[in-house]
Amino acid sequence: MDTYRIFTVIITVCALFAYINERYIKLTPAIGLMVMSLLSSVLIITFGHLIPSFSGAVIHGINSIDFHALLMNIMLSFLLFAGAIHVDAQHLRKEGMPIAILASIGTIMSTFIVASLVYFLLSMFHFQVHYIYCLLFGALISPTDPIAVMAILRRENISRSLDQMISGESLFNDGVAVVIFLTIMEAISGGVDAISFSSVSLLFAREALGGLLYGCCLGYLGFFALRSASSYQVEVLITLAIVMGGYTLAQMIHVSGPLAMVVAGIITGNKGRNSALSPVSKDYLSKFWELIDEILNAVLFLLMGFEMLVVKMNNVIILIGLISIAIILLARWVSVAFPVFLLKYRIKFEAGSVAILTWGGLRGGLSVALALSLPTDMHKDEFVPITYIIVVFSIIVQGLTIGKMARKLQGRSKITSG
């Protein structure tokens, strides 16, 4: 099946599932699409026992999609820019310190906690895995996905400060986690024995600080271009060039493209829209990127559901994956609670912030894509199914219950303050 036909089938199935979800099921779009694609995968597997040629054709189609390349090289830049362009810079500055600490120190803490506990867990099941590879797993599973949870929490009318903290932290920790993952991968490529603190720190600084600086330059270059343009068609094209050309150049000069997209998106969404665009252009630009965001997210969650068809599982790996869910939640709680404890005397946090940030830290497509990028000799066959189990639990179980938790915690805080 050629690329165009595969893309046609994906968009058609997305439209069908989105319609069914909106008309009858009424779940959050991302969760609804993933639930239906998971159920479809189960049905395809079931029918495969009766009609092997049918399931074989579907599995071949899914296998022909390079999920890692699709997300990391194409979709991630659009998704991060589209999310960042709607972030309010003024509110972001107010929550700047907790966001920065949660996205940096919190992500690093989570990486090491997960790596250490998973290393011992795998040893218990007689898997001989080098600790450095467990660090890779810790890095790929630590980034949280703001897409599904923000749609749920906004329905619950959570406070603006908590809203900005969750969205800001999720956007930046995606970038930080990718930097950590790529830094470890690059260090491993030079030989495990040659890894040193100074070499890893230098690689991390180049990717992270380079990405932030490059994103600022890209954002302001886009701002000056937007200010001198006069038609919304040209202005939309300029933002597309920022994303596509900017992300490609970031990969070429070896700085963090994800962090660059977040920074460029925030600058474009605030300084660009406030100082360079007419009201008509603002409206078109907002709607264009909102539509891009919705379409790509629909495709992403649909594909994650259908990945079930090609992920290889066995009883031992399933058990390890289920235990790992508890490890991920513990690591997330520690990496949130510790920074909040350090900052609580300087910054006022909303009641239930730690619980909401912990349970609302959903894992998504980025974790799956990074796991799929692992070479076979880095225990890809173990880490991919474990990652998939965690992501499915996270999106479905946590995603379907975080709204009720937020509503309950908010109700308690209002009673207490009253």
Do 56 and 86 reside in the same domain of the chain? no
**Average of per-residue pLDDT across 362-370:** 89
pLDDT tens-place string over residues 110-120: 999 999 999 99
pLDDT tens-place string over residues 102-112: 989 999 999 99
Do 44 and 177 reside in the same domain of the chain? no
Tell me, what's the pLDDT at 410? 66
Q: Is the pLDDT of residue 146 over 70?
A: no
Show the tokens assigned to 200.
Answer: 């890893």
Tell me, what's the pLDDT at 23? 93
Q: Is the pLDDT of residue 404 over 90?
A: no
Q: Is the pLDDT of residue 409 over 80?
A: no
**Average of per-residue pLDDT across 241-267:** 94
Q: Is the pLDDT of residue 231 over 50?
A: yes
Do 99 and 246 reside in the same domain of the chain? yes
Do 275 and 400 reside in the same domain of the chain? yes
Tell me, what's the pLDDT at 418? 47
Tell me, what's the pLDDT at 257? 93
Q: Is the pLDDT of residue 407 over 80?
A: no
Tell me, what's the pLDDT at 327? 97
Three-class secondary structure assignment of 61-130? HHHCCCHHHHHHHHHHHHHHHHHHCCCCHHHHHHCHHHHHHHHHHHHHHHHHHHHHHHHHHHHHCCCCCC
Tell me, what's the pLDDT at 51? 74
Q: Is the pLDDT of residue 3 over 50?
A: yes
- Final residue belonging to a domain, choices 63, 81, 113: 63
CA 128 → CA 96, 133, 140, 185, 382, distances in Å? 41, 11, 20, 19, 11
- Final residue belonging to a domain, choices 39, 63, 87: 63
CA–CA separation, 79 vs 84, rounded Å? Answer: 9
The residue ranking higher by pLDDT, 66 or 261, is 261
**Average of per-residue pLDDT across 346-354:** 80
Q: What is the mean pLDDT of the chain?
A: 86
* DSSP percent split of the chain into helix, strand, coil, nearest 5: 85, 0, 15
Do 54 and 98 reside in the same domain of the chain? no
Do 55 and 169 reside in the same domain of the chain? no
Tell me, what's the pLDDT at 239? 94
- CATH at residue 170: 1.20.1530.20
Q: How confident is the model at residue 388 (pLDDT cuts 50, 70, 90)?
A: very high
Show the tokens assigned to 195.
Answer: 């890894």
Show the tokens assigned to 275.
Answer: 């100082």
Q: How confident is the model at residue 413 (pLDDT cuts 50, 70, 90)?
A: low
Do 159 and 17 reside in the same domain of the chain? no
**Average of per-residue pLDDT across 211-238:** 91
Do 144 and 48 reside in the same domain of the chain? no
Q: Tell me what percent of the residues of the chain surpass a pLDDT of 70.
A: 91
- Final residue belonging to a domain, choices 38, 63, 88: 63
Do 59 and 74 reside in the same domain of the chain? no
Q: Is the pLDDT of residue 158 over 80?
A: no
Q: Is the pLDDT of residue 415 over 80?
A: no
Do 324 and 346 reside in the same domain of the chain? yes
**Average of per-residue pLDDT across 184-200:** 71
pLDDT tens-place string over residues 291-328: 998 898 889 889 888 888 888 889 999 999 999 999 99
Do 52 and 83 reside in the same domain of the chain? no
Return the axis-axis angle of helices 160-189 and 107-124, rounded to nearest 10°: 60
Tell me, what's the pLDDT at 68? 87
Tell me, what's the pLDDT at 183? 86
Q: Which domain holds residue 53?
A: 3-63
Q: Residue 383: CA atoms inside 13 Å, Cβ hemisphere, count?
A: 29
- Rounded to whole angstroms, the maximal C-alpha distance in the chain is 64
pLDDT tens-place string over residues 59-94: 888 888 888 888 888 899 998 999 888 888 887 787
Residue 90, exposed/middle/buried by CB under 10 A (0-12, 13-18, 19+)? exposed
| Least confidently predicted of 5-14, 106-115, 185-194 | 185-194
**Average of per-residue pLDDT across 245-270:** 93
Q: Tell me what percent of the residues of the chain surpass a pLDDT of 90.
A: 40
Q: How confident is the model at residue 135 (pLDDT cuts 50, 70, 90)?
A: very high
Angle at the Cα of 57 from the Cα atoms of 56 and 62, rounded to 5 degrees: 95
Do 36 and 75 reside in the same domain of the chain? no
CA–CA separation, 386 vs 316, rounded Å? Answer: 10
Number of domains in the chain: 2
Tell me, what's the pLDDT at 215? 96
